[in-house]
Chains A and B, each alone.
Chain A
Amino acid sequence: MQNIQDIQGIRLLIIDDEVEFAATLCRRLQLRNIDAVDAHSGQEGLERLAEVKPHIVILDLKMHDMSGLDVLEQIKAYDATIEVIMLTGHGSVQAGITAREKGAFTYMIKPVDLSDLLIKIAEAVIK
């Protein structure tokens, strides 16, 4: 298990059109000294990549404007070193397999315990 110190100071972008979820998760990560920023659509998330320069992106699979898988492809095309953790309420195993095939670091089903998410973030950082 990774230590939370490993991930303090990293830059993280949350892309999720569930505004309350993204904003609250962002606040909780900031309380743990993670430089987290939230975006509330696929397009907004892609536009903020250059500004935020994230090490990690937390990305929703289903958004109103774009599919999370399409956003994932564009993130990887922009910078293949950015690790992407997919989050979704969708229970299909196939969706997770497809996300991994397209380069996602991992796939987690909402709601996620913050402690589990922090472990995945730490694993992605040291990858």
Chain B
Amino acid sequence: MKGQQLRQQQMASLGRLLADFSHEMRNHLAVMQEANGLLQDILTMQGDEAPPFVASLKDTAAQIGKRVRTCADLCQQLSSMAHRADIPYASFSVNELLAELVVFLERSARSQQVTLQLELGQRICSLSSEPALLQYILYQLYVFSLDRMSKGQTMTIRTAQTGETVLISFCLAGVEKTGVTQTDWAALSAIVLPALSLLESQLEAVEQTEANELDCFEFRLLVPVDGF
């Protein structure tokens, strides 16, 4: 119990640090955005008689503005993710949590030329559980999945609800079920088992259906709606 409490305190500290970092970054981005905006205002005031380099400067300022907005969006996602660790137990949307996480996962998938898709189910109940712990499990499942994928394959993460359980499935299209060994599966289970146990969740491989012509390894995480 003391170990669990310590872990929660560590997560909360990390969450606050990241949230403060994100806050600080957004302050700097706000200064950059306003300075860039003022530059654009001044360039626009030059009118139609402006020398040709003004158009080039306008383009450059527009590029800076676009990148600043992208950075701000990333900081916003980081902040939302970090705040989840602030409060150990909370009521939260699993779809929102996944959407935040995927923003940061996309890059590693892209660099491996794997397509990452998110298919979020409708009318999914909020979970009452530990959001930071669920984030950790999902991250481990993602890393496990990506390690077994190669160029041109597609990972689809889906959410659905059945009764009092939310299903989060990872479908690795192009990966044969035999491509994931018992040893792999045991290693993954050992990593996430303590966290799964705390969330009273289960991890299971899904049998492939005959109708599915494409090789696909699929596994599901089953999380109870009320984990308190």
In the bound complex, do residue B23 and residue A91 qualify as a contact, i.e. CB atoms below 8 Å apart?
yes
Say yes or no: is B34 at the interface (Cβ < 8 Å to chain A): yes
In the bound complex, do residue A111 and residue B41 qualify as a contact, i.e. CB atoms below 8 Å apart?
no
User: What B residues does A114 contact at CB under 8 A?
Assistant: 34, 37
Given A62-B23, A91-B79, A110-B26, A27 contacting B31 (CB threshold 8 A): no
Say yes or no: is A89 at the interface (Cβ < 8 Å to chain B): yes
User: What A residues does B31 contact at CB under 8 A?
Assistant: 18, 20-21, 24
Question: At the interface, is chain A mostly helix, strand, loop or mixed?
Answer: mixed
Say yes or no: is B22 at the interface (Cβ < 8 Å to chain A): yes
Q: How far is the CA of A31 from the CA of B38 in the complex (A)?
A: 9
Q: How far is the CA of A28 from the CA of B30 in the complex (A)?
A: 13
Given A18-B31, A20-B31, A111-B68, A89 contacting B26 (CB threshold 8 A): yes
| Residue among B19, B26, B29, B80 with the highest chain A CB neighbour number at 10 A | B26
Say yes or no: is A5 at the interface (Cβ < 8 Å to chain B): no
Shortest distance from the beta carbon of A107 to any chain B beta carbon, whole Å: 14
| Residue among B26, B27, B38, B72 with the highest chain A CB neighbour number at 10 A | B27
Say yes or no: is B103 at the interface (Cβ < 8 Å to chain A): no
User: What A residues does B35 contact at CB under 8 A?
Assistant: 20, 24
Q: Which residue of B lies closest to A32 (CB)?
A: B41
Q: How far is the CA of A111 from the CA of B76 in the complex (A)?
A: 10
In the bound complex, do residue A111 and residue B23 qualify as a contact, i.e. CB atoms below 8 Å apart?
no
| Chain B 58-83 near chain A by CB (<8 Å), digits 1 or 0 | 00000000001100100110011001
In the bound complex, do residue A89 and residue B24 qualify as a contact, i.e. CB atoms below 8 Å apart?
yes
User: What A residues does B33 contact at CB under 8 A?
Assistant: 111
Contacts of A33-89 to chain B: CB distance below 8 A = 62, 87-89
Shortest distance from the beta carbon of B182 to any chain A beta carbon, whole Å: 43
Q: List 29 A-B contacts (CB under 8 A).
A: A18-B27, A20-B34, A20-B35, A24-B31, A31-B41, A31-B45, A62-B23, A87-B30, A88-B23, A89-B23, A89-B25, A89-B26, A89-B30, A90-B19, A90-B23, A90-B79, A91-B19, A91-B76, A92-B19, A92-B83, A109-B26, A110-B26, A110-B27, A110-B29, A110-B30, A111-B33, A111-B72, A113-B69, A114-B37
A residues whose Cβ falls under 8 Å from a Cβ of B: 18, 20-21, 24-25, 27-28, 31, 62, 87-92, 109-114
